[in-house]
Structure 1
Amino acid sequence: LAAADFIAKEQPIRTFDTSTDGVLRLFTSHGACLTLRVEDIPETKPQAKPTNLSAVFELEQDEKLLAICDEDFSVGKVFFYTRGGLVKCTEASEYITKMKRIAAVNLKEGDGLVRVEYMRETTADSSILLVTEGGMSIRFASDTVPVTGRASAGVKCIKLDDGDGVIFAGHVPEEGELLVATDRGYMKRSFIFDHEIQGRNGKGLQCFGFKKNGSNGTRIAAVMHVTDPLDLAAVQKDGTQTVFNTEEVRIEPRAGRGQPMVMVLMDNTVAELKKTDSSAKNNAEKNPI
């Protein structure tokens, strides 16, 4: 982690210990699983620039890294979440291969992955939460997603309005809060337990109350599940960053309208939330993407 401190504008999204004979599995936005042996990663000095993934693999246009896993894939499951509201669960062992690149999920035309999540184990109480750009959310039991093969597409888990899409997805515990930020810089937190468990593939519940005039936003720009106070930066389209602590964001009902946390002028809207250097150092280790 300290090595990354020397690299301007580079933040680790995950750090972990590994060994030279280790194997990493990387999942991309185009639904591919890339197998990378640690020994194939060029060794550099601590202050050196990191190796670009395209130097190790031949990536497709606009293909991005979504997750990197160093876990023992002989156990556990991998969950795939798409913008179109599909969720797929596959035994992790199906991704143990000597091939450098394989199809990890059968993506439908026009759809794309928003997250890949490795789960060593799930319980009867495990639940998944999906949040859409249109301010809807659905929370359902993890075991209602059937285990399917590597070549499958998954099952539909939320009914979306035209033009809407999933922006956040993953397993969530009963504890913690959901922090939601809109394109106009309004934010709020709501308790996870306020998002009641429903049946899979419903319409869901409203998780943000947009005003008709759009003054508090027209879409959800970013979502985070938080359990401890974090320093975050709201990044706008022009690169402007507004730093704040999650404790400064008011807790509201699930469908609350939020409060302004970022001054947004004209079309310089909020594009993303990211952890600041201090938060990244404290939370990068062993946190799945």
Structure 2
Amino acid sequence: LEVDKVVSEYKELIKIISNLKSILDNKTKRMEIIKTELLEIRDQYGDERRTEIVPVDTEFSMEDMIAEEEVVLTITHQGYIKRTALNTYRSQRRGGRGVQGAMSKDEDFVEHLFIANTHNYMLFFTDTGKCYWLKVYDIPQAGRASRGRAIVNLIGCNPDERVEAFVSVKEFDDDHYIVMATQNGVIKKTVLSAYGKPRKGGIYAIEIREGDKLIQARISNGENDILLGTHEGKSIRFSENDVRASGRKTMGVKGIALSSKDDYVVGMLIVKREGTILVATEKGYGKRTEVLQYRTQTRGGKGVLTMRCTDKTGKMVNIMEVVDSDDLIVITDSGVLMRQPVSAIRSIGRVTQGVRLVKLDDGTNISSITRVISEDSATEKKDDKQMTLDTDTDQETPSKD
């Protein structure tokens, strides 16, 4: 019986092989089989097409393909910028060891830090009064240990231009303003919507007179106070409502009357909180003073004394708003950097010469003093609303949400 079964299977296989060979040798037969099988599939599974292909005029941009997410932007003292994923800044408990930040190269350091959406615009303002645009997603992404790319190479400004200020913008609305200050004491306010049409070569944000230059640009809601500080130790605080909004192609109005031809504005603040104001001088002296001691005045006046400058202290080089958790980096004209906590500087009266911040060698002066913040601590301050955090002041990013 087993032998008969094997013989039967053998004969059956021979028939199958013979049939398959005949199919392979006959093209007409092959096509007939394919046709029959396709008709069977059509009858069994055929139904109406579920997708519809129609001609449309919609154009897709690169931005449509990029997800909206919050990222960390860091800008160094020497003008390098990078974009880093927010989740790389992991939350840590107080007292933790932290994680590595941007590497120092040629004594460079992180001076500004923002939290922004990838679809935000970054506006860059140069000393010549021009404004350049850059989408956040166009800023190269890099790791925490990288310094990033030079801003001037990304925005394509002229070699003789220097980036002095930058703001992050979500929407170019009519409810916010760009407030600018020049070295000669000119103040200007322009509605944010005037910057809503980016141009590759940039646009003029303010008309600069010969011998003057833009030193600061800030975003504001139009209801804050403005504080200007000068090289000879004067300051003036006035309401932003005293500055009438004007178009981009204007010079602005007088913010402060300078004391002499050698005097010039060293900084501008948009006062949004009653914190402390730090001023520093060429020869290493400085102090902190409560904002409340700076009374509001009429725009265009000579201001009040904010630092008693003498031969011992030298002239004022910077004015900024600080909090206890900040650090200061002092840079001398010989290239030396020194870092110290703001909390070590006590708050004293406005009409004083301050205390020694750093001890300098004979003939050495301070060329710059900068407020810096921890990258981790800054990212922890982010709330549910879109905010911009930088090292000069907390700036609200306009949004209609």
The equivalent residue for 1:28 is 126
Q: Write the deviation string for residues 17-67 of structure 1: whole angstroms up to 9, x where unpaired.
A: 322x54332222221111223444344555445122233233223422211
Identical pairs, percent: 26
- Which amino acid counterpart does residue 341 of structure 2 have in structure 1? N
Report the Cα distance in structure 2 between the residues aligned to 1:46 and 1:251, rounded to whole angstroms. Answer: 35
Summarize the alignment of residues 1-289 of structure 1 with structure 2, pairs less than 5 Å apart: 5-8=101-104, 9-11=108-110, 13-19=112-118, 21-44=119-142, 47-65=145-163, 66-75=165-174, 76-100=176-200, 101-119=202-220, 121-123=221-223, 126-160=224-258, 161-173=260-272, 175-211=274-310, 214-217=311-314, 219-276=315-372, 279=374, 281-283=376-378, 286-288=388-390
The equivalent residue for 2:30 is none
- Which amino acid counterpart does residue 313 of structure 2 have in structure 1? N
Report the Cα distance in structure 2 between the residues aligned to 1:243 and 1:55, rounded to whole angstroms. Answer: 29
Pick closer, same or farther for the CA change 1:150–1:266 going to 2, 3 Å.
Answer: same
- CA radius of gyration, larger in: 2
Q: Write the deviation string for residues 211-250 of structure 1: whole angstroms up to 9, x where unpaired.
A: 3xx1122x11222212333222222122323322222223
Q: Write the deviation string for residues 108-156 of structure 1: whole angstroms up to 9, x where unpaired.
A: 111111110011x233xx2111100100011111100001011111100
Pairwise CA RMSD of aligned residues? Answer: 2.3
1:97, CA displacement in angstroms? 0.8
Pick closer, same or farther for the CA change 1:193–1:150 going to 2, 3 Å.
Answer: same
Pick closer, same or farther for the CA change 1:216–1:80 going to 2, 3 Å.
Answer: same
Check conservation: 2:329, 2:371, Cα contact below 8 A.
Answer: yes
The SS at the match of 1:5 is coil
The SS at the match of 2:339 is strand
1:12, CA displacement in angstroms? 5.0
The unaligned stretches of length 5 or more in structure 2 are 1-71, 73-87, 90-99, 383-387, 393-401
Q: Which is richer in helix?
A: 2
- Which amino acid counterpart does residue 55 of structure 1 have in structure 2? N
Pick closer, same or farther for the CA change 1:54–1:194 going to 2, 3 Å.
Answer: closer
Taking structure 2 as the reference length, what is the TM-score of the superposition?
0.65
The equivalent residue for 2:47 is none
Check conservation: 1:82, 1:115, Cα contact below 8 A.
Answer: yes
Q: Write the deviation string for residues 143-180 of structure 1: whole angstroms up to 9, x where unpaired.
A: 00001011111100111121100111122145111111
Check conservation: 1:82, 1:112, Cα contact below 8 A.
Answer: yes
Pick closer, same or farther for the CA change 1:225–1:49 going to 2, 3 Å.
Answer: closer
Aligned residues between the structures: 281
Pick closer, same or farther for the CA change 1:46–1:265 going to 2, 3 Å.
Answer: closer
Pick closer, same or farther for the CA change 1:5–1:163 going to 2, 3 Å.
Answer: same
The SS at the match of 2:289 is strand
The SS at the match of 2:149 is coil
Runs of 4+ that moved beyond 6 A: none
Taking structure 1 as the reference length, what is the TM-score of the superposition?
0.88
1:96, CA displacement in angstroms? 0.7
Pick closer, same or farther for the CA change 1:174–1:194 going to 2, 3 Å.
Answer: farther
- Which amino acid counterpart does residue 215 of structure 1 have in structure 2? K
The unaligned stretches of length 5 or more in structure 1 are none
Report the Cα distance in structure 1 between the residues aligned to 2:170 and 2:101, rounded to whole angstroms. Answer: 25
Check conservation: 1:180, 1:187, Cα contact below 8 A.
Answer: yes
The SS at the match of 1:55 is helix
